Amino acid sequence: MLTQPGEPGAATDEQDYLWTLNFGPQHPATHTTLRLVIRLDGERVVDAVPDIGYLHSGFEKIGEHLDYNQYVTVTDRMNYISPMANNVAWHGAVEKLMGIELTPRCKYLRVIVAELARISDHLLCNGAVGLDVGAFTFFLYAFNQREALYDIFETVCGARFTNSYTRVGGLMYDATPLFVEKVRAFARAFPKTLDDMERLLNRNRIFIDRTKGVGLLSKAEALSRSATGPIARASGVTRDLRKDEPYLAYGDFDFQVCCATAGDCLTRYLVRMAEMRESLKIVEQAIENLPSGPVNVGIDQRTALPRKTQVYSTIEGLISHFELVMSNRGFEVPNEECYAAIESPNGELGFYIAGDGSDVAYRARCRPPSYIHFALFPYLIKGHTLSDIVAVLGSLNIIAAELDR
């Protein structure tokens, strides 16, 4: 915390003219609940001290008391802008711990929803950057498309916002032809909106003046400060887990990793815009080549609930169903620990899970990209003006629910 004048360690006499400004925890430009204590020299930011924890709700503690299927509802509430990506990350880690190989159809469907979640997240992030620096129309264009994405998620899992779509070894529901039709319609309509959005801002003088050269992050600093995702890629780190460690079915698709070297707010915006087009390419390829077959793993794996026809007509199905729903049975998990990560919209989203044989995780650590990126903020804002705070905050895409968990 910043010291008050007169306290030991307080600013020396020649710095007495510095102003201390309290930014947040409730402020329209923070979008969520986070607080900054800023020292200002006129309009220049001399120092910024983040004060976080306002939304801390003990998600990791809850993870030690909810079973592997129940906890997915909590992951929805971490980065609530792209809950599908969190679901995929959580159950990806659980399945790695349990050694489950998913069915091809499940992998493709998870890729589709994770990429739609990326588009949804980038739309919100870039829309909010636009809104914060004064481009309100741009924000409305972005949010209109998010509505279409919510509609798709509602079709596939019944929930618009908190999806909880994945289950251990599969998905809650299989995709329907309506879902396929809606994804195709979105893939047809979305590039036009992207073109419109790019025409609105990419050459907009005000927007470029507000973001170019602001919040510079060099490649060495990005690596040293553990940045991942679009923020690292905008600084020249060519790291994308979808290419570097292909998980799910990402090895099957043809797409580019979007990188740039400037490392400022404008570049982060441009990288996100480019990534949406690449995500759309993945979605198109996946929806056209969607494998048929079962979406959940077989009953011999004893993780996903068998279909009702199997429960009522086969003894294996009945046993498997009871083994899973009885409170003293459940999954068999090794006494081991592992870490698995996905390339979430914000960066590397990983879960470190320690299993203790029961169907509740002994430790469920989340590696939240927002938390690690917010630590960059004091470094990025130093020397910029007060009005640049919202541009830098927006370009880091800080989701306070994920920041504090």
Partner 1 sequence: MLLPETLQALSANFAGLESSEFRGGTRVVVPRDSLLAAMRFLRDQRGFDLLVDVTCVDYLNYRDATDRFGLVYLLTNTTTNERVTIRVFVNEPDLTVPSVVPLWEGANWMEREVYDMFGIRFAGHPDLRRILMPEEFTAYPLRKDYPLQGRGERHNFPVLLRSES
**Residues found near partner 1 in the complex (CB under 8 A):** 1, 52-53, 56, 58, 60-62, 64-65, 96-97, 99, 221, 223-228, 237-239, 244-245, 335-339, 341, 348, 350, 352, 354, 356-357, 362-363, 365, 367, 371-372, 374-375, 404-405
CB 111, CB 249: distance < 8 Å: yes
In angstroms, what is the minimal distance from the CB of 246 to partner 1? 11
In angstroms, what is the minimal distance from the CB of 225 to partner 1? 4
In angstroms, what is the minimal distance from the CB of 217 to partner 1? 12
CB-nearer residue toward partner 1: 260 or 318: 260
In angstroms, what is the minimal distance from the CB of 383 to partner 1? 18
Q: Which amino acid does the sequence have at 302?
A: R
In angstroms, what is the minimal distance from the CB of 364 to partner 1? 10
CB-nearer residue toward partner 1: 1 or 326: 1
DSSP string, 383-398: TSBTTHHHHHHHHHT-
CB-nearer residue toward partner 1: 18 or 97: 97
Both tokens assigned to 135 = 């481009």
Which among 336, 341, 302 is positioned nearest to 322, based on CA atoms? Answer: 302
In angstroms, what is the minimal distance from the CB of 229 to partner 1? 12
CB-nearer residue toward partner 1: 227 or 234: 227
Question: 83: cis peptide before it, omega within 30°?
Answer: no
Residue with tokens 């879960």: 351
CB-nearer residue toward partner 1: 39 or 96: 96
Find the distance separating the first CA and the last CA of the chain, reported in whole Å. 21
CB-nearer residue toward partner 1: 128 or 376: 376
CA dihedral sign of residues 62, 67, 72, 73: negative
Distance of CA 69 to the CA centre of its chain: 20
Give bridge partners of residue 45 from the DSSP assignment.
40
User: 83-98 vs 104-132: helix axis angle to the nearest 10?
Assistant: 140
